[in-house]
Structure 1
Amino acid sequence: MERSQHNALVIIDVQNDFCPGGALAVPGGDDIIARINMMQQSYSRIILTQDWHPADHSSFASSHPGKAAYDMVQMPYGDQVLWPDHCVQGSDGAAFHGALETDRADLILRKGSNRQIDSYSAFFENDHHTATGLEGYLRDKGVVSLLFVGLATDFCVRYSAVDAAKLGFDVSVDLSACRAIDLNGSLAEALDDMQAHDIHILGH
């Protein structure tokens, strides 16, 4: 495969807390790492995203007395799933999985560091308005086509891919290099949403 400067591989949140043994473990989350490492060899431009929450983040169930993990609450920006504490800034859980190759990355984008708002997408916080700066970076580099892999298919991969498609990028998601949480049918909903935005679904 010829390495095109116009294509980028975006690797979403392959962090210890999302892998088996982590605080918010995605089943089989570490099974995809060898494949992602192999895929990196075909891309000259690689982006890594990293969930990076303050310890008292508003999306944590522990910040809401009387609430439990996976409860749903209303935030000013809409519905919010409450999560177990995860990917706390500077913690081992927030670190990239040790088996993930990170040296090829052009950019490491940390997201979710605003205490008041969660951030699934690599492009916008969950208000769908506050930008992370990734779009500008990709435009400056002349990138037009993005392939998304990583964790989890039905949350951060989904929202990143859909936002990329809305911004006019040519977007693909390789499910063979993703794993899902699948919370109350969220995987099927995510696949429908991605296909509705003309995202190319590979590897299924």
Structure 2
Amino acid sequence: MSNIFPPPLVKRLNEEFHFEDKPYFDSDEPSKAALIIVDLQSDFLPKGSLAVPRGDEIIPVVNNLQKHYDLIIATQDWHPAAHKSFASNHPDKEVMETIILDGREQVLWPDHCVQGTKGAELVETLESNKIELVVRKGTDVQIDSYSAFFDNGHKKSTGLAGYLIEKGISKLAVCGLAADYCVFYTAMDALELGFEVEIITEGTRAIDPETFAKKIELFKEKGGTVSS
């Protein structure tokens, strides 16, 4: 396994996740790279219930990016209607207020990406033929899940890390929506897990660009890279 993955990832797998070296981990092939397309869903586009400004501009960029990667993953916010991150489920609160939910700060959002609705679907113009896995997140009514890897409390894993490992992936590129939330937290968790990670800024847009500018500096401080 150590001849495929970066040393921090090998250490984490062995010490925390108790992975054993197995024959399918051993390979003389060069390391592989995956593209994670985060939450490119209708509700995050203009006219959606939680529209990210200029979010539709990234669709052709993301479609073009796919040809450069060995593996393509997409994620979907997939919330139950009663999700506690929705302001509508707190009658005395407003959208964008902050509350304490499950012991941590939680922004209250407009209802979005509700399971089975049109707004939760991946956008129709996203090229999906190369997408091998769609990770649905935010399914627990009690806690939000910005990252593709864990819920916000890191209590439950989506299983994505194990999938990437078995596919021989050591490098990740992250794009999608929104840059300052789900893209950022997906990239940060990937770094913490030991993957080599870049955020492709041309392939993402932020709810608040100023906040994203600060977060991207933290991402770089932690060892991430940024490309346009």
Is the TM value for this pair above 0.5? yes
The equivalent position to 1:128 in structure 2, one of 129, 144, 154, is 154
The equivalent position to 1:175 in structure 2, one of 190, 201, 218, is 201
Deviating beyond 6 angstroms after TM superposition, the runs of 4 or more aligned structure 1 residues are none
Matched, 1:23 2:49: yes
Deviation at 1:77, TM superposition (A): 3.5
Unaligned 5+ residue runs, structure 1?
none
Matched, 1:141 2:164: no
Matched, 1:157 2:183: yes
RMSD over aligned Cα, in angstroms? 1.2
Query: What SS does the corresponding residue of 1:124 show, helix, strand or coil?
Result: coil
Measured against aligned partners, the alpha-carbon deviations of 1:5-40 in whole angstroms (never above 9, x if no partner) come to: 711000000000000010000001010000110111
Deviation at 1:102, TM superposition (A): 1.2
**Amino acid corresponding to residue 84 of structure 1 in structure 2:** P
Q: Aligned residue for 1:202?
A: 227
Who wins on radius of gyration, i.e. which is larger? 2
Deviation at 1:128, TM superposition (A): 2.0
Deviation at 1:136, TM superposition (A): 0.6
Deviation at 1:130, TM superposition (A): 1.4
**Amino acid corresponding to residue 160 of structure 2 in structure 1:** L
Deviation at 1:100, TM superposition (A): 0.6
Structure with higher helix content = 2
Of 153-162 and 188-197, deviating more is 188-197
Q: How does 1:29-178 map to 2 (within 5 A)?
A: 29-178=55-204
Distance 1:110 1:5 in 2: 26
- The aligned length equals 199
- Counting aligned pairs with the same residue, the percent is 48
Distance 1:199 1:131 in 2: 21
Q: Aligned residue for 2:213?
A: 188
Deviation at 1:152, TM superposition (A): 0.6
